[in-house]
Amino acid sequence: MKERIRKATPSPWVAASNSGIHGNGLFAKCAIPKGTGVIEYVGRVITKAEAERIEDERLARADRGERTAIYTFILNTRYDIDGNVSWNVARFANHSCDPNCEALLDSGHIWITALRDITPGEEITYDYRFDWNLCRDHPCHCGAGDCTGYILRKDLRWRLRRRLSREQQETAA
């Protein structure tokens, strides 16, 4: 397969800067109305096999104690987007358990879209929607009131809260 690349589309809405959530973040340069396509998530279009190879390499680095992050975004059943490229500013948008944006797939493009009006200077966040098998490897530092402490999609957070409570009770006993 010839490598396909989704090049950056400049966003008048955001700029990258240091984040209190995790390393770098994206921040609103101006007021962003609800429903706005804030920035497109771009990168190299890769096969699922290539995505798996990238993840195996990331896990090996994590096992060696290196700080790692996941930048692979599911595009469809055959392809993903490897967003770990310099021209993908959207990769700096952090996860939050109480996000102000969501990731939407639209005609083969992934857009980070405002769920509500966003004020200037506010950090752009969305729910990474990690599945159960990933959450314990990815602590969450978003600070939201209902944060479980791990990056996990919203519909499974009740399950994690129950498990953490059970583990806490077992440890205390």
Q: What pLDDT, on the 0 to 100 scale, is given for residue 6?
A: 66
At 29, the pLDDT band (50, 70, 90 cuts) reads: very high
Roughly how many angstroms between the first and final C-alpha of the chain, as a whole number?
Answer: 57
Alpha-carbon torsion angle 60, 124, 30, 8, nearest 10: 40
Q: What rounded mean pLDDT belongs to the chain?
A: 90
d(C-alpha 105, C-alpha 112), whole Å? 9
Residue 137 confidence class, pLDDT cut points 50, 70, 90:
confident
Asked whether residue 145 carries a pLDDT value surpassing 80, the answer given is yes
Instruction: Determine which of 3-17, 52-66, 98-112, 121-135 has the lowest per-residue pLDDT on average.
Output: 3-17
Give the pLDDT score at 2.
54
| pLDDT digit string, tens, across residues 53-100 | 998 998 899 889 988 888 999 999 999 999 999 899 999 999 999 999
Separation CA 75–CA 108 (nearest Å): 7
Binned at pLDDT 50, 70 and 90, residue 51 comes out as: very high
The first and second tokens of residue 170, run together, are 């077992």
Beta-bridged to residue 16, according to DSSP, are: 26
pLDDT of residue 173 exceeding 90 = no
H-helix or E-strand spanning residue 126: strand 123-126
